[in-house]
Chain A
C-alpha cells in the first residue's frame, strides 16, 4: 500500500503503528515482535476492499474515510463493576468481566484473578507477562488462517482483551459474561483481543456481549482465539445489540482437540454494520461443532456472517444453522465455507442458511462453498431466501388471528428453530423474549445491555450509571 493511496482510516492506523514502541513499551519481547510483524504486513496490505472475494458485498469500505481516534492510555477506573453495571436474568447468574472502550475494567490493581480451582481470568496484557508459556503457545496461532487487513491491525494494535485459562478437569459452574461497552464522545477505533484456553476435560460457558451505550459511531475490531482441549466442552454465545452507526468486526477462531464439543450461538439483534467471523478448526478426531446464528436486521443495517469449518481429521461432525429476517433496506451476507481434508474420512458436515425478506428492498447474499477432498463423507448444504409462507398466513388468519399477529407468530417460529438450541433455559427464555420484542419493534438498544430485557413478571435489575464512569 502506498501512503498516497491510503484512506483516512489507513493513514490514522499507520500513524498509530509508528508509535508502537512508545504505546506498548510494557510488552514482552514476544509480543513486540508480533506487533512489528503486523506493522509490516499492514504497510503492504492495508485494509480490505470490496474487490476482495470475501469482502465483495461488505459495507465495511464505508469506514475507510472515517476519522477515527485511538485510546492509547488505559483510563483510571475507581468504581466496582457491580456499581456501574448490573445485569440480571431470573434464575441465571454470570460472572461479569467488563470492558469499557476496549480496556479491561478493573478498579483494583490486580488485572488477573486466580480462583481456587486454578481458573485464571483477567487482562490479556497482564497474562502475556504472568503466563508466558500458555500465552506464547496459543496467541496468534489459532487465528492465523484468518488474515485480512482488520485482523492484522488487531494483531498489531490491540489495546487489551480477556484472558481465560480453564485448567484440566475444571468445570466452570457459573457462565462468564464478557461485556464490551462503548461510550465515548469521540469516534473510536477499538481493537481488542481475547484468548481463551480450555484444558483437557474442562467445561466453560462464555457469553460475549457487544453493546453500545451511546449513539457515537465507532469501529470495534475484536479477535478471539479459543483453544479447546481434549474432551472439553465450550458453549459460546455471541450477543450483539449495538447502535445503528457502529461497525463491528467480531472474529472468533476456535481450535478443537480430540472429542471436544463446541456449541456457538450468534444472536444479532441490532447493529449498523456487523461482520461475524467464525472459524472452527477441527483438529482432533471425534470433535463436534454445532454452530447456530440468528440475525434480525432493519433500516440500512448489514450483518455479514463468515463461517469457516475446517475438517482436518476423520470422524468429526459439524453443523451450521443460520437464519435471518431482513426488514426495510437491510442486507445480510452469509458465506459458509466447509473444507474437508483428504484424510478427513467419515466426516459429517451440514450447513443451512434460511432468510426471510420482509420488503423488496432487503437483500441477502448467501454463498455456500464446500471443498471436499475425502471420499467417504456426508456433507450437505442448503440456502433459501423467501417471504413468509402465504399458505401459513392464510391458515392463521382464517382462525381469526390478524395479519400483524400472524406475521409475528410466523417470524417467532422461524427464529425459534435457532433460539431453541440455547441450552441454558433462563437465557433462552430471555433471548426469545428479546427476539419477540425486536420483531415487534420494542427493543431498545441504547443504554441497555443486550441481556437487559425480561418478561414483565420477572423482577429486573439493570442500569449503567454513566456518571460513575
Chain B
C-alpha cells in the first residue's frame, strides 16, 4: 500500500472541507479524482502534501506504512510525495537550475547520498527537458517567471521527472492546456508510470484521461468520495455531467 487515507477530516479556518474521506492507492496504480468545483479536490492535495493552514481534525494519512499527518512539507516531499501544482508559483530571481539542483540534493541528502555531480545533473536536466519537450534554456530563467500556461504545466512534469517521486498528485494539470501541450504532459506522465509508483490525477474533464488512462475513477462531492469505478465512469460523467451524482447524494 502506497497511500492510505482513512476517515480524513480537514478544515480551513474552522470550516470543514474534507469529510470522512477515504482513499487507498497501491503501487503501480493511477487513480483519477473527478468532481464539480468546490468539493475539496485541491484541499485533498494540500492535506497530503502538508500545506500550512489545512488542519487535520480527524483521520489519518499513511504513506509507505508511515503516519505522515504531522510531517513537514519538505519531509513528505523527500519521502517521495510530489504535487504538480494547479497554479505553479512564479519565483523571480531563483533560477530553474539552482532550484532543481537544490531540490535534488535535498532529496539525496535525505537519503544519505552524496550531492549530484554537475555533469550528471546537467545530463539529467537535458534528458528530462526532452521528455516534456521544453526547448528553451532553463539555466538563466527564473522558476516559472514569464512561462506561458502550457510551459508552466510542462515544467511541473519536468520537475516530477527530475525528482522521481513514488506518489505524484497532479492537480488539474490539464487546465489551460491546448491539445498538443496536453499530449506532451500525458506522454511525460506515462513515461514515468512504473510498478513501484502511484498517481492521483485530479481533473474536471475526461479529456486528460484519454491520454493518461486511469485504473480507478472516483467522484468527489462535498468533501468525500461518493462514487468509484473503472475508467468507464469518467465517460459516464462526461456524457451526463455531475447533476445525477448530486441528485443521488441528495436522495441519500
What residues of chain A have their CB less than 8 Å away from a CB belonging to chain B?
A: 389-392, 394-403, 405-406, 409-410, 412-417
Contact = CB atoms under 8 A, between A and B. Distances in A.
Contacts of B115: none
B206 interface: no
Nearest to A412: B93
A406 B143 CA distance: 13
B91 A413 contact: yes
B93 A401 contact: no
Contacts of A394: 51-52, 73, 89
A391 B91 CA distance: 9
B85 interface: yes
B94 A409 contact: yes
A400 B107 contact: yes
B46 to A, nearest CB: 9
A399 B93 contact: no
B18 interface: no
Contact of A397 (B72, B82, B142, B143): B72
B77 interface: yes
B217 interface: no
Interface in B164-218: none
Given A392-B89, A400-B74, A400-B163, 15 more contacts: A394-B52, A394-B89, A395-B88, A395-B89, A395-B91, A397-B72, A398-B77, A398-B82, A399-B103, A399-B106, A400-B78, A405-B106, A406-B74, A409-B99, A413-B91
A440 to B, nearest CB: 14
Interface in B49-74: 49, 51-52, 72-74
B109 to A, nearest CB: 9
A390 to B, nearest CB: 7
24 contacts: A395-B85, A395-B88, A395-B143, A396-B99, A397-B72, A397-B73, A397-B77, A398-B82, A398-B85, A399-B77, A399-B106, A399-B163, A400-B77, A400-B78, A400-B106, A400-B110, A403-B72, A409-B99, A410-B94, A413-B92, A415-B93, A416-B93, A417-B92, A417-B93
Interface of B: 49, 51-52, 72-74, 77-78, 82-83, 85, 88-89, 91-94, 98-99, 102-103, 106-107, 110, 142-143, 159, 163
Secondary structure class of chain A's binding surface, majority of residues: helix
B91 A399 contact: no
Nearest to B159: A399
A464 B3 CA distance: 61
Contacts of A403: 72, 74
Interface centre among B99, B107, B159, by most chain A C-beta atoms within 10 angstroms, is: B99
B133 to A, nearest CB: 21
B73 A398 contact: yes
B191 to A, nearest CB: 20
Nearest to B103: A399
Given A398-B49, A401-B74, A414 B91 contact: no
Contacts of A416: 93
The 7 tightest CB contacts between A and B, nearest first, are A413-B93, A399-B103, A400-B77, A397-B73, A400-B106, A395-B89, A416-B93
A405 B102 contact: yes
Contacts of B98: 409
Contacts of A417: 92-93
Contact of A391 (B73, B89, B159): B89
Contacts of A396: 91, 94, 99, 103
Contacts of A389: 89, 91
A447 B32 CA distance: 62
Given A394-B51, A394-B52, A400 B103 contact: yes
A89 B52 CA distance: 43
Nearest to B98: A409
Contact of B99 (A397, A399, A402, A414): A399
A93 B172 CA distance: 54
A396 B83 CA distance: 11
A396 B159 CA distance: 12
Contacts of A398: 49, 73-74, 77, 82-83, 85
A463 to B, nearest CB: 33
A401 B107 CA distance: 8
A409 B77 CA distance: 18
B152 to A, nearest CB: 12
Contact of A402 (B74, B85, B91): B74
B136 to A, nearest CB: 20
B163 to A, nearest CB: 7
Contacts of B52: 390, 394
A350 to B, nearest CB: 18
A413 B74 contact: no
Contacts of B163: 399-400
A392 B91 CA distance: 6
Contacts of A399: 77, 99, 103, 106, 159, 163
B225 to A, nearest CB: 24
Contacts of B83: 398
B139 to A, nearest CB: 15
A46 to B, nearest CB: 45
Contacts of B142: 413
B102 A409 contact: yes
A73 B175 CA distance: 75
Contact of B94 (A391, A400, A413): A413
Contacts of A401: 74, 102-103, 106
B106 A402 contact: yes
A324 to B, nearest CB: 15
Contacts of A397: 72-74, 77
Contacts of B92: 413, 417
Interface centre among A389, A396, A400, A405, by most chain B C-beta atoms within 10 angstroms, is: A400
A416 B94 CA distance: 9
Contacts of A413: 91-94, 142
A210 to B, nearest CB: 27
Nearest to B92: A413
